[in-house]
Amino acid sequence: MRRSEFLRAVDAEFGARAGSLVADLVLTRIGGHTAAEAMEAGVPPREVWLALCAEMDVPESRRHGVGRMEPKRH
Q: Distance (Å, rounded) from C-alpha 13 to C-alpha 58?
A: 8
In 3-state terms, what secondary structure has residue 59?
coil
Q: Ramachandran region of residue 72, left (φ > 0), alpha (ψ -120 to 50) or beta?
A: beta
Q: Which of 70, 68, 69, 50 is nearest to 60 (CA)?
A: 50
- In the chain, the amino acid numbered 37 is E
Q: Is the pTM of this model over 0.95?
A: no
- pLDDT tens by residue, 12-47: 999 999 999 999 999 999 999 999 999 999 999 999
Q: Distance (Å, rounded) from C-alpha 26 to C-alpha 31?
A: 9
Beta-bridge mates of residue 27: 33
